[in-house]
Amino acid sequence: MTTQRSAAEVAPHAGLAHLWSGPLRVPRTGLPRRMLVIETVLVLLLSLGASAIYSVLDIMRRLSSPVALGQQTSNLNTSHAEQPWLDLIYEIVQIGLGLVPVLLVCYLLARELPSAVRYLGIDRARPLPDLLLGMILAACIGLPGLALYVGARDAGLNTTVVAADLGSHWWVVPILVLSAVQNAALEETVMVGYLFTRWSQAGWRLWVIVVVSAVIRGSYHLYQGFGGFAGNIVMGLILGSVYLRTRRVLPLIITHSILDTVAFVGYALLHSHVSWL
């Protein structure tokens, strides 16, 4: 496969239409297109794709319930054991296993690259620009996202999301932060860095890659309701476009980590003091 000009090389004034039209520079591979697509399907079924399937089933179950969707709750970061020490072990193991798909896709890409981490842009080459971009994106996505959640919930299109329900143990805040980072690393590495690479190698149009990745991202949030579905599609489109411009996954991980940390820790600290939570 010939090396193509990176989307990051598009002129700064280029719009979304130009950015999404590619081409995207990806590593050469000897794998046929069919094998590339099968590989991505298997990776997804072992990770976020499986979550999407369960979320679709979950929203079907919720819609068939006599209780209105807006009166239901979605629980994140829940306890797994009555004993605090055992619950902590459960959380640590869950976070660790949640990172296995990240290691898997890095391993798969490393067969064709001298450094998959450097290729994906999750190294420390640009720490300050990555941090600043991540913080700016978090602010731009987080506030409208919160408004969308509240509006969708009040309209009966979304459940009430209980973002943290681990009690008041000393380890709750550190675990919630680690959980946020794990979610961010998993979603951005797989859904953007890996899938954008493999589907480009398979010859998919760039706009199709961006849209399909965003829709899958929205699908595994359907358990929250239609507000979570729509909001995460928009988030996927934004972060996918940023990746095409920067070719770095780390700013996306920082963005996602900030958003989830604020949601998880903020809920744990404020839910008993803020009525609309």
Integer Cα distance of 201 and 25 in angstroms:
9
Q: What is the pLDDT of residue 276?
A: 62
The band of 248, judged by pLDDT with boundaries at 50, 70 and 90, is very high
Q: What is the pLDDT of residues 160-205, one digit of tens each?
A: 999 999 999 999 999 999 999 999 999 999 999 999 999 999 999 9
- Nearby residues of 242 by Cβ (< 8 Å), 6 or more positions away: 133, 137, 251, 252
CA nearest to 88, candidates 171, 198, 176: 171
Res 271: pLDDT: 79
The answer to whether 112 and 104 have CB atoms below 8 angstroms apart is: no
Residue 17 pLDDT: 67
Q: 47: which 2 tokens?
A: 């990770």
From CA 13, how far away is CA 125, in angstroms rounded?
25
* Alpha carbon distances (Å) from 160 to 54, 67, 72, 153: 19, 13, 6, 7
Q: What is the pLDDT of residue 16?
A: 66
